[in-house]
Every structure is written in structure tokens, then in C-alpha cells.
């Protein structure tokens, strides 16, 4: 989390975003004709969508309109480095984004989806470098192009901004969904942003062009007329509800894959190793609840909360050890992984040898030995 001092010194900044031409001049995404044509269709209104927050850097090819699945855009074609914030700060940002959108059918993930439509917000680069907090293609009334790409530039000095980072990413994503700027400083769609709290408001507000707050050209006048009785107004909450329907409900359990050591791997006593896990979930990353234990005992009552599931084992004595890892996502969906580790007195066989030769342990460890077995939980274990 951010130290209050950091917040205090940062909030004086009131950086205008959208100083890029796409918000000002380009308006609606160009029609998808020509070589880069993609499927052009109306979204089914009131159905959920996925928003992929890409913290991992991009090197976008060229296409028009932008396309998250093809990783291409009609601007920002130079590589953008991965976001420098650690897993903890990435989790804080996506958690804040999920809280702002919990009323709508919007699934927010930082893992690139394997299938289906998804808008992508590239979270990287600095405001200095790009001249704005973010940018996005605008004018996509009713989200007819569900795979557009937006940008949030909060690396560098602004990397600690969780509040402003989450609202900037949502502001830019909302442009790709067809939302416009409005004249309410506490709203996410206000054309200026900083690190102070804003939200999607459930009232109608005047659509503005930019930070001048002059009247703006509505991207979707029919929606303004329908929801606000005024083509030049926008109710962001009502628009998001209309577009994406009721809240996304997480009923999927995470999956855990053992990256290292191998199940059944042999170590010479005393064995020290990291247990590296690859976790996938529909809402990854997040704060997982993790239980770890070994043997036939019951699951312990005291789980750990971690954004990077994994742990370290130190000085494991001779024996055959059954490890268990149970993991629950924030919605409480659980999964379990079990694996075995062999520890013996002899050194492990040379690498090219087959693993058919298991060096036997010297019998069951004593209760005392088990009692001191340290299964230490450490923070950084994820590999991607
Ligand atoms: Zn904007």
C-alpha cells in the first residue's frame, strides 16, 4: 500500500489526460475496412465482458481499429516496458478496479484471456513520456468493437498511485466502451485525473470535450436520449449497466500447477527448496488464502493470505514427505494440490540418470523432527 506521505505529495498533481489526438480529433474508431478489417458487429447489450489489464509490457503491431487479440494498434507502436510495480501493487490496482465495477458484468484480469472478446488496458510507460495519464480510442458507441486497446501511463513517479492508477485504467477502458468525458470532477470520466478518489456516478451529467469543459460531441447520442432524456448527457452507471448487465460472479476455483520441485523429486538431507506454483484464476491476480501442511494431518486452521502463492522449505530431514497446498480465491472457491518429496542420506543421482532409483529414507521421522519441520511462507514465488 502507499504511504500516506506519498499520497499527500502526489495529490497536488492534476494531470490532464487525453492530450493525445485520438480523444480530441479522431472521434469514432475508423470503420474496419481494408487489410486490417476485423469482424465488425454490435455487441449483445447487457452481457458481460472481460477487461484485461496488461502490466507485462507490449510491442504493438499496426492495425486499425486496435485489436487486443492481434496485439496491434494504430498508434503507440513503439515497445512499452512492463510496469515496474510488484505483484502486490498490481493486485491493489486490479482490486480497486474491481470495486469500482462490481455492479456490472465486467471481469477484470491481469492474465491475457485465451479466448473470447476482451478490451486491453496497457498499464505502462510514464505520464512524462506520453504527455498524458492515459489514452484510448473513443467514440465506440455501444462497444461495437469489444477488443480495443487503451493505455494507462502511470509508471515512474506515479507507480505508487493505486487510486489514480485504477481510475485512469477504468477511464481509458470506458472510452473503448463508448463512454465520454463528463463535467463532474469526482467522476471517473472527468477529463482530468489525479490520485484522489473518484467513481462512476449514477446521475446524468453534461458531456464535455476535454479539460476546457466545453460541450462535447456525444459518442452515443441515442444512449443519452434514452438514459438522460438529453443527447448531450451521460449517466456512466446507467451506461455500464446497459452495456454489461449484472455483476460478474466468480464461481470458478483457481488451478495450481507445481512448477518446482517435481512431484516425487529426491533431495539429500537436509533438503532446502522453494515450492514454486503457477496459479491461474478467472480473477488473477488477487489475494489468495493459502493453507500448507504435510502428512496425514488435518488442514491447519491458520491460512496465509498471499498474492504470490508458494513457500520455502528449509532443512527437511530424511523421509518421504507428502505436501498439501489448498488455495481459495477471494470469492471462496477452493482447490488443492498434493505432492511428495523424497529425502535421503545419499546425494541425488547425476542429472541424465533416470529417476527410477529412489534412495530410501531412514524410516519415519520422529514426532519431534516433524514438529520442528519449518515450512516457511515467503512472498515472491510467481514466475510470470
Ligand atoms: Zn478521457
Q: Where are the beta strands (DSSP E) in 261-346?
A: 265-268, 271-280, 288-294, 304-306, 310-316, 319-328, 334-344
CATH class of 255-376: mainly beta
Q: At a CB cut-off of 8 Å and minimum separation 6, what does 76 contact?
A: 60, 122, 130, 135, 151
Helix (H, G, I), strand (E, B) or coil at 239: helix
Backbone angles phi, psi at 168, to 5 degrees: -65, -45
For 217-263, how does the pLDDT look when each residue is reduced to its tens digit (9 = 90+)?
Answer: 999 999 999 999 999 999 999 999 999 999 999 999 999 999 999 99
CA of 133 to the centre of ligand 1 (A): 9
Residues in the chain: 384
CATH code assigned to 4-244: 3.40.390
CA of 17 to the centre of ligand 1 (A): 6
CA of 21 to the centre of ligand 1 (A): 11
CA of 182 to the centre of ligand 1 (A): 9
Q: What distance lies between CA 302 and its chain's CA centroid? A: 27
pLDDT at 43: 74
Below-50 pLDDT ranges, the chain: 1-29, 31-39, 357, 359-384
Residues with CB under 5 A from ligand 1 (ion): 18
Helix (H, G, I), strand (E, B) or coil at 90: helix
The full set of domain ranges for the chain reads 4-244, 255-376
CA of 111 to the centre of ligand 1 (A): 25
CA of 119 to the centre of ligand 1 (A): 16
CA of 340 to the centre of ligand 1 (A): 53
pLDDT at 374: 40
pLDDT at 355: 53
CA of 258 to the centre of ligand 1 (A): 42
CA count, 13 A, side-chain hemisphere, 356: 2
CA of 15 to the centre of ligand 1 (A): 12
The label of the residue with cell 462490481 reads 102
CA of 361 to the centre of ligand 1 (A): 64
CA of 267 to the centre of ligand 1 (A): 56
pLDDT at 42: 64
Question: pTM above 0.85?
Answer: no
Query: Running DSSP on this structure, what letter comes out for residue 39?
Result: -
pLDDT at 250: 96
ω before 270 within 30° of 0 (cis)? yes
pLDDT at 365: 40
CA of 257 to the centre of ligand 1 (A): 40
pLDDT at 44: 86
CA of 185 to the centre of ligand 1 (A): 13
CA of 24 to the centre of ligand 1 (A): 9
Backbone angles phi, psi at 242, to 5 degrees: -65, -40
Amino acid at each position: 500500500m502507499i504511504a500516506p506521505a506519498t499520497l499527500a505529495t502526489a495529490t497536488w498533481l492534476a494531470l490532464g489526460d487525453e492530450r493525445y489526438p485520438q480523444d480530441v480529433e479522431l472521434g469514432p474508431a475508423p470503420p474496419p475496412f481494408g487489410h486490417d478489417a476485423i469482424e465488425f458487429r454490435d455487441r449483445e447489450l447487457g452481457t458481460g465482458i472481460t477487461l484485461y489489464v496488461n502490466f507485462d509490457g507490449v510491442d504493438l503491431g499496426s492495425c486499425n481499429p486496435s485489436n487486443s487479440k492481434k496485439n496491434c494498434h494504430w498508434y503507440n507502436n513503439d515497445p512499452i516496458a512492463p510496469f515496474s510495480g510488484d505483484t502486490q501493487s498490481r493486485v491493489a490496482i486490479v482490486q480497486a478496479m474491481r470495486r469500482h465495477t462490481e455492479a456490472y458484468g465486467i471481469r477484470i484480469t491481469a492474465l491475457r484471456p485465451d479466448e473470447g472478446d476482451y478490451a486491453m488496458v496497457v498499464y505502462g510507460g510514464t505520464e512524462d513520456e506520453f504527455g498524458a495519464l492515459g489514452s484510448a480510442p473513443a467514440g465506440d458507441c455501444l462497444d461495437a468493437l469489444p477488443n480495443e486497446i487503451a493505455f494507462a501511463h502511470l509508471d515512474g513517479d506515479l507507480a505508487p498511485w493505486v487510486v489514480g492508477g485504477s481510475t485512469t485504467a477504468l477511464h481509458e477502458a470506458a472510452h473503448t466502451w463508448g463512454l465520454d468525458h463528463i463535467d463532474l470532477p469526482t467522476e471517473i470520466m472527468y477529463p482530468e485525473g489525479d490520485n484522489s478518489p473518484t467513481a462512476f456516478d449514477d446521475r446524468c451529467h453534461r458531456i464535455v470535450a476535454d479539460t476546457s469543459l466545453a460541450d462535447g460531441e456525444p459518442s452515443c447520442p441515442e444512449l443519452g436520449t434514452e438514459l438522460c432524456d438529453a443527447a448531450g448527457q451521460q449517466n456512466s452507471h446507467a451506461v455500464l449497466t446497459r452495456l454489461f448487465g449484472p455483476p460478474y460472479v466468480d464461481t470458478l476455483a483457481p488451478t495450481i500447477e507445481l512448477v518446482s520441485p517435481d512431484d516425487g523429486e529426491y533431495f539429500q538431507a537436509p533438503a532446502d527448496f522453494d515450492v514454486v506454483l503457477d496459479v491461474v484464476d478467472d480473477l488473477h491476480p488477487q489475494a489468495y488464502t493459502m493453507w500448507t501442511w504435510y502428512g496425514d494431518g488435518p488442514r491447519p486452521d491458520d491460512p496465509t493470505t498471499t498474492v504470490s502463492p508458494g513457500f520455502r522449505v528449509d532443512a527437511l530431514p530424511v523421509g518421504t514427505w507428502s505436501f498439501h497446498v489448498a488455495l481459495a480465491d477471494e470469492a471462496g472457491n477452493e482447490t488443492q494440490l498434493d505432492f511428495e518429496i523424497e529425502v535421503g542420506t545419499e546425494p541425488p543421482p547425476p542429472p541424465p540418470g533416470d529417476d527410477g532409483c529412489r534412495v530410501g529414507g531412514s524410516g519415519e521421522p520422529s514426532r519431534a523432527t516433524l514438529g520442528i519441520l519449518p515450512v516457511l511462507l515467503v512472498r515472491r514465488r510467481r514466475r510470470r
